Structure 1
Amino acid sequence: MCCSGFLKIMMFIFNGAIFLAGVAILAVGVWVKVDSGSLLGVLDNIKDVPAELGQLANVAYLLMGVGGVLLIMGFLGCCGAMKESRCMLMLFFIIILIIFIAEVAGCVVVLVFQPLAKEVLEDLSEKVVDSIQRDYGKDESLTSLWNGTMEQFKCCGYRNYTDFDGSPFQEKPTNPTYPPTCCIKTETCTAAAAERSNVNGCFTMLLNLIEDNAVIIGAVGLGIAALEIAAMVVSMVLYQQIGNK
């Protein structure tokens, strides 16, 4: 009885942690989805985006899906332990095993994609710049997206300020030569001021975002995987003990 009570407590602890992880991942997924200034939103406005990079635009749905599944897993594990339901414990074990295998596969994909990220983004450079020079200042949706992205990440253009040369933005006499984010000071953003400011392009920021998030995702994935393995072991021991009663 004492051992059974201890296992129940461990199940509550593990599944409580999994439930909280699900809430956090779901919240991040919702934030990415509603954040119109996200760098990932730029991909939706570029034609012929490479398939590998285009999949990053769906990261919000992936995060929301994983978060939702973790919430269900945490609920099943806690209820199964509390009600001593072998059916719920077995269902919990199967789901968590499937998720564990999917996480391993996802980590492999991240590890494979990360070294290719710089090469893919460099190949995309010409298409993104063409889009800026063709539509920035004319297409309100794309202009708003780029303005939000540049303001949020303190970057200018895809490569640098010269990406805006020849764009519709420069054709309006009321506009400065370049967007304000291309200059550090609040002065009129002329070519000379933009050159002095030397603001990084959003290509650099996007590459850093991918690399930093890959490390974070890997660390979080390892932590969740450890919890899942422990929860699977405890759930099977508890499942066996309930069956022996």
Structure 2
Amino acid sequence: MAGVSGCIKYSMFVFNFLFWLCGILILALAIWIRVSKDGQEFISKGESGMNPYVAVDILIAVGATIMILGFLGCCGAMRESRCMLLLFFIGLLLILLLQVAAGIVGATFKSESEHILNETLQKNVELLSGTDDNAKAFQNTLIKFQKEFQCCGLLNGAADWGTNYESCKCPDQSNTSCTIYEGQLVYKQILGLVFSMVLFCQIGNK
């Protein structure tokens, strides 16, 4: 029984340690976007009537929650603390209930949400080939993001830029984040986490 108990304990520690690291990464990314000039420019693009920082604040809260739960799980497992393990269980249960509630709401408004999402995606892709000031500002901000995160485009990678995908070219052939597009080595699609947050900000104007 001691072997089984030890196996469960260390397995839970490893799982929650990874959980804790994910929370730190999400929290760090959200804080960086919140305080960085480039991040603020990126999320404030569009005509949303809602505060664009609401999504960032939610991301900060999610990252902090995951980090705290991971810490409780790690320490609770290693110290065999019933109090920490109980708090960890309650936290996970609350998250599960919230997910179920969100799933019900999402299923109810699925068709409307898909329509809004498709319109928002297409609108942002069209900005990449635009020539007005708003489009140019969005393009310049996205180019900075692409260089920093070694990624490209919003929906279909380099294809989003049309023939003007110079900013997507990958100089390092050994880089695993690169792919072939029209015979050229380019970075892959942009980070889903960042773009999903931008979509959340812009959906508010529909």
Structure 2 length as normaliser, TM-score?
Answer: 0.53
Calculate the aligned-residue CA RMSD, in Å: 4.3
> Shift of residue 106 of structure 1?
4.7
Residue pairs, 1:67-146, within 5 angstroms: 67-106=63-102, 112=110, 113-119=113-119, 146=138
- Conservation of the 8 A alpha-carbon contact between 2:20 and 2:69: yes
> Shift of residue 41 of structure 1?
1.4
Residue pairs, 1:1-245, within 5 angstroms: 1-33=2-34, 34=36, 35-38=39-42, 40-43=43-46, 46=47, 49=48, 54=50, 57-106=53-102, 112=110, 113-119=113-119, 146=138, 148-149=140-141, 151-152=143-144, 184=164, 213=192
SS of 2:29's partner is helix
* 1:68-109 Cα shifts (integer Å, max 9, x gaps): 111111111111122222111111100111123334445666
> Shift of residue 65 of structure 1?
0.9
Structure 2 CA distance for aligned equivalents of residues 143 and 14 of structure 1: 43
- Conservation of the 8 A alpha-carbon contact between 1:37 and 1:148: no
Structure 2 CA distance for aligned equivalents of residues 93 and 79 of structure 1: 13
- Conservation of the 8 A alpha-carbon contact between 2:73 and 2:84: yes
Q: Which structure has the highest helix share of the two?
A: 1
Structure 2 CA distance for aligned equivalents of residues 147 and 100 of structure 1: 38
Q: Provide closer, same or farther for how the CA distance between residues 106 and 149 of structure 1 changes in structure 2, counting only shifts above 3 A.
A: farther
- Conservation of the 8 A alpha-carbon contact between 1:81 and 1:89: yes
Structure 2 CA distance for aligned equivalents of residues 64 and 4 of structure 1: 35
Letter of the aligned partner of 2:80 in structure 1? E
Structure 1 CA distance for aligned equivalents of residues 33 and 101 of structure 2: 23
- Conservation of the 8 A alpha-carbon contact between 2:10 and 2:78: no
Unmatched tracts of structure 1, length 5 or more: 137-141, 156-180, 186-207, 218-245
- Conservation of the 8 A alpha-carbon contact between 1:73 and 1:95: yes
> Shift of residue 8 of structure 1?
0.8
Structure 1 CA distance for aligned equivalents of residues 123 and 137 of structure 2: 21
The count of corresponding residues between Structure 1 and Structure 2 is 147
* 1:151-185 Cα shifts (integer Å, max 9, x gaps): 44799xxxxxxxxxxxxxxxxxxxxxxxxx9x959
Equivalent position of 2:200 in the other structure: none
Q: Provide closer, same or farther for how the CA distance between residues 102 and 145 of structure 1 changes in structure 2, counting only shifts above 3 A.
A: farther
Structure 2 CA distance for aligned equivalents of residues 118 and 70 of structure 1: 30
> Shift of residue 21 of structure 1?
1.4
Letter of the aligned partner of 1:92 in structure 2? F
Structure 1 CA distance for aligned equivalents of residues 119 and 97 of structure 2: 29
Q: Provide closer, same or farther for how the CA distance between residues 107 and 67 of structure 1 changes in structure 2, counting only shifts above 3 A.
A: farther
> Shift of residue 59 of structure 1?
2.0
* 1:32-57 Cα shifts (integer Å, max 9, x gaps): 3221341x2114xx4xx35xxx4664
